[in-house]
Amino acid sequence: MGSGPSAEETREQMLEIYPKKTRRKRAKQMLVNKTPETPEAIGANSRTVPGIITQRGCSYAGCKGVVIGPIYDILHITHGPIGCGWYSWLSRRNMSKIRHPEETNYLQYSMSTDMQEDHIVFGGEKQLKQAIQEAYDEFKPKAISVYATCPVGLIGDDIHSVCREMKEKLGINIFGFSCEGYKGVSQSAGHHIANNGVFKNMIGLDDTPVEAKYKINVLGEYNIGGDAWEIDRILRLCGIHIIGTLSGGVSYDEICNCHQADLNVVMCHRSINYMAEMMETKFGMPWFKVNFIGIEGTKKSLRKIAQYFDEKELTDRVEEVIAMEMADVRPVIEDVRQRTEGKKAALFVGGSRAHHYQDLFSDMGMTTIAAGYEFAHRDDYEGRDVLPSIKIDADSRNIEELHIEADPERFNLRKTKERKVALEESGFEFSDYEGMMRQMAKDTLVIDDISAHELEKLIELHKPDVIGSGIKDKYVIEKMGIPCKQLHSYDYGGPYAGFKGAINFFKEIDRMISTKVWKLTRAPWKDDSEEQSAAAAEPATVS
Partner 1 sequence: MLEGTTAEIRERKALRINPAKTCQPIGAMYAALGIHKCMPHSHGSQGCCAYHRSHLTRHHKEPIVATTSSFTEGASVFGGLANLKTALENIFTIYEPDIVSVHTTCLSEVIGDDIPMIIKKSEESGIIPEGKLVIHANTPSFVGSHVTGFSAQCAAFVDYLAESTGAKKNVINLFPGWVEPADMREIKRLAEMLGVEYIMAPDTSDVLDSALEGEYQMYPDGGTTIPQLKAMGDSMATLALGPMASTLAADKLKKKCGVENKVLELPIGIGGTDAFVNAMRIAGDVTVPRELEKERGRLVDMVSDMSQYLHRKKVAIFGDPDHVTAMVKFLVEVGMEPAIVVTGTKGKKWVAKIKEICSEVNPDVEVAAFSDIHYLHQWIKGNPVDLLMGNTYGKYVAKSEKLPFVRFGFPILDRVGHRAFPLIGYTGGMRLIEKITDAFFDKRDREDADEDIELVL
Residue 349 CB, shortest distance to partner 1, in Å, is: 14
Please, which of residues 62-81 interact with partner 1 by CB under 8 A? 77, 80-81
Among 6, 116, 389, 532, interactor with partner 1 by CB under 8 A: 116
Query: Of 107 and 360, which has the nearer Cβ to partner 1?
Result: 107
Residue 178 CB, shortest distance to partner 1, in Å, is: 11
Please, which of residues 144-163 interact with partner 1 by CB under 8 A? 149-151, 153-155
- What residues contact residue 79 under an 8 Å CB cut-off, 6+ apart? 112, 113, 115, 124, 128, 131, 146, 147, 148, 149, 152, 157, 159, 176
The one catalytic residue in 7, 58, 143, 179 is 58
Cβ atoms of 93 and 497 within 8 Å: the answer is no
> What is the pattern of x (binds partner 1, CB under 8 A) and - over residues 423-452?
----------------------------xx
Tell me, yes or no, if 92 is annotated catalytic.
yes
**Cis bond leading into 495, ω under 30°?**
yes
Residue 136 CB, shortest distance to partner 1, in Å, is: 10
- What residues contact residue 37 under an 8 Å CB cut-off, 6+ apart? 438
Please, which of residues 506-535 interact with partner 1 by CB under 8 A? 521-523
Query: In a 3-state reduction of DSSP, which class is residue 276?
Result: helix
Look at the chain and count its residues. 543
Query: Of 237 and 452, which has the nearer Cβ to partner 1?
Result: 452
Q: Rule CB under 8 A: is residue 330 a binding residue for partner 1?
A: no
The amino acid at residue 522 is R
Please, which of residues 80-99 interact with partner 1 by CB under 8 A? 80-89, 91, 98
> What is the pattern of x (binds partner 1, CB under 8 A) and - over residues 181-210?
xxxxx-------------------------
Pick from 472, 455, 451, 373: nearest CA to 51: 451
Query: Of 88 and 201, which has the nearer Cβ to partner 1?
Result: 88
DSSP character string of 381-448: HH-GGGGGGPPP-TTTTTS--------TTT---SS-HHHHHHHHHTT--SS----SGGGSPTT-EEET
Query: Of 129 and 300, which has the nearer Cβ to partner 1?
Result: 129
Pick from 365, 341, 370, 367: nearest CA to 354: 370
Query: Of 404 and 480, which has the nearer Cβ to partner 1?
Result: 480
Query: Of 189 and 503, which has the nearer Cβ to partner 1?
Result: 189
Say how many residues touch partner 1, by CB under 8 A: 93
Please, which of residues 165-184 interact with partner 1 by CB under 8 A? 180-184
> What is d(CA 54, CA 454) in angstroms, rounded to the nearest whole number?
10
> What is d(CA 76, CA 388) in angstroms, rounded to the nearest whole number?
36
Write out 294-363 in H/E/C secondary structure: CHHHHHHHHHHHHHHHCCHHHHHHHHHHHHHHHHHHHHHHHHHHHHHCCCEEEEECCCCHHHHHHHHHHH
> What is the pattern of x (binds partner 1, CB under 8 A) and - over residues 38-57?
---------xxxxxxxxxxx
Residue 523 CB, shortest distance to partner 1, in Å, is: 8
Residue 373 CB, shortest distance to partner 1, in Å, is: 15
Among 1, 32, 58, 148, interactor with partner 1 by CB under 8 A: 58
Rounded to a whole number of angstroms, the CA Rg of the chain reads 25
Query: Of 19 and 539, which has the nearer Cβ to partner 1?
Result: 19
Q: Which stretch binds partner 1 (CB under 8 A): 106-114, 276-284, 312-320, 343-351?
A: 106-114
Query: Of 50 and 539, which has the nearer Cβ to partner 1?
Result: 50
Please, which of residues 275-314 interact with partner 1 by CB under 8 A? none
> What is d(CA 259, CA 244) in angstroms, rounded to the nearest whole number?
9
Instruction: Say how many C-beta atoms besides its own lie within 10 A of residue 14's C-beta.
Output: 24
The amino acid at residue 32 is V
The one catalytic residue in 191, 270, 377, 378 is 191
Residue 51 CB, shortest distance to partner 1, in Å, is: 3
The one catalytic residue in 11, 26, 79, 92 is 92
Pick from 139, 134, 201, 144: nearest CA to 174: 144
Residue 139 CB, shortest distance to partner 1, in Å, is: 5
Please, which of residues 237-266 interact with partner 1 by CB under 8 A? none
Query: Of 37 and 137, which has the nearer Cβ to partner 1?
Result: 137
Residue 75 CB, shortest distance to partner 1, in Å, is: 9
Please, which of residues 352-411 interact with partner 1 by CB under 8 A? 394-395, 398
> What is d(CA 240, CA 213) in angstroms, rounded to the nearest whole number?
7
> What is d(CA 132, CA 145) in angstroms, rounded to the nearest whole number?
9
The one catalytic residue in 7, 26, 44, 61 is 61
> What is d(CA 190, CA 197) in angstroms, rounded to the nearest whole number?
10
Among 7, 10, 11, 18, interactor with partner 1 by CB under 8 A: 18
> What is d(CA 165, CA 157) in angstroms, rounded to the nearest whole number?
14
Start-to-end C-alpha separation, the chain: 50
Residue 120 CB, shortest distance to partner 1, in Å, is: 5
Residue 186 CB, shortest distance to partner 1, in Å, is: 8
Tell me, yes or no, if 58 is annotated catalytic.
yes
Query: In a 3-state reduction of DSSP, which class is residue 197?
Result: helix
Query: Of 25 and 164, which has the nearer Cβ to partner 1?
Result: 25
Among 105, 389, 412, 532, interactor with partner 1 by CB under 8 A: 105
Please, which of residues 462-501 interact with partner 1 by CB under 8 A? 470-472, 474-481
> What is d(CA 368, CA 343) in angstroms, rounded to the nearest whole number?
9
Kindly tell me the burial class for residue 461, based on how many C-beta atoms sit within 10 Å of its own C-beta (0-12, 13-18, 19 or more): middle
Tell me, yes or no, if 61 is annotated catalytic.
yes
Q: Please give the positions annotated as active site.
A: 58, 61, 92, 191
